[in-house]
Amino acid sequence: MKKKRLMIRAVILLLLGAAVAYTLYANFTKDDVQKAVVGEKAPDFVLEDMNGEKHRLSDYEGQGVFLNFWGTWCKPCEREMPYMNNQYKQFKDKGVTILAVNVGESELAIQKFADRHGLEFPILKDPDGQVMTAYKIGPLPATYMIDKEGKIVKYHTGQLTEDMIKDLMEQVKP
């Protein structure tokens, strides 16, 4: 009985040690990835949308960008999507766009979600999580507001109301 408990503890310690080692390795080997910081230029990226079209963040300079990270499984994300879509319709002709970055899900899951909610803004795919890492995304949903010069002016984590989305988009309207 004691031998079995000792063995279980040893395995748990080994797993914890491996997790710590991996975390340290992952954090110290990605120095080449520019990190997102409020007040500084947003890290540039290129991601494909659901139609295979490439979107480079720097191509949106001159416009405000509502950069949202989300997942189909995320209930707060799902609740804010209709509000985002409404405000996208209001602001797309005023120089503010939405780029919704889905993190690591299948095209089928993303497309079904987009169709179910009638989403009209560009949905970008971040299959390997590289952009999510560069923007230091933790819990979803997470939103960065980027001004016309490409600078990050605000970061918000958690669900947004429609009024909050409208206010954020007003802040980055050119």
Could you state, in order of their start, the residue ranges of all structural domains in the chain? 1-32, 34-172
Residue 31 pLDDT class (50, 70, 90 cuts): very low
CA gap 162, 89 in Å, rounded: 13
What average pLDDT does range 31-36 have in this prediction? Answer: 55
43: amino acid identity, one letter: P
- Nearest by Cα to 172 from 155, 80, 139, 36: 155
Q: How far apart are CA 56 and CA 134, in angstroms?
A: 14
Identify the DSSP state of 147.
-
Rounded to whole angstroms, how far apart are CA atoms 62 and 60?
A: 6
pLDDT of residue 29: 47
Angstrom distance (rounded) from CA 64 to CA 133: 22
How confident is the model at residue 25, as a pLDDT?
56
Q: Please report the pLDDT score of residue 23 as a whole number.
A: 61
The superfamily CATH assigns to domain 34-172 is Glutaredoxin (3.40.30.10)
Say if CB 85 and CB 109 are below 8 A apart.
Answer: no
Question: What are the E-state strand segments in the chain?
Answer: 46-49, 54-56, 64-70, 96-103, 123-126, 142-146, 152-157
Cβ 101 vs Cβ 69: under 8 Å = yes
Alpha-carbon Rg for the chain, nearest whole angstrom, is: 19
Whether the model pTM is above 0.85: no
Whether residue 34 has pLDDT greater than 70: no
Determine which of 33-37, 112-116, 163-167 has the lowest per-residue pLDDT on average: 33-37
pLDDT of 66-86, one tens digit each? 999 999 999 999 999 999 999
Distances, alpha carbon 121 to alpha carbons 1, 13, 88, 136, 161, in Å: 60, 47, 7, 23, 17
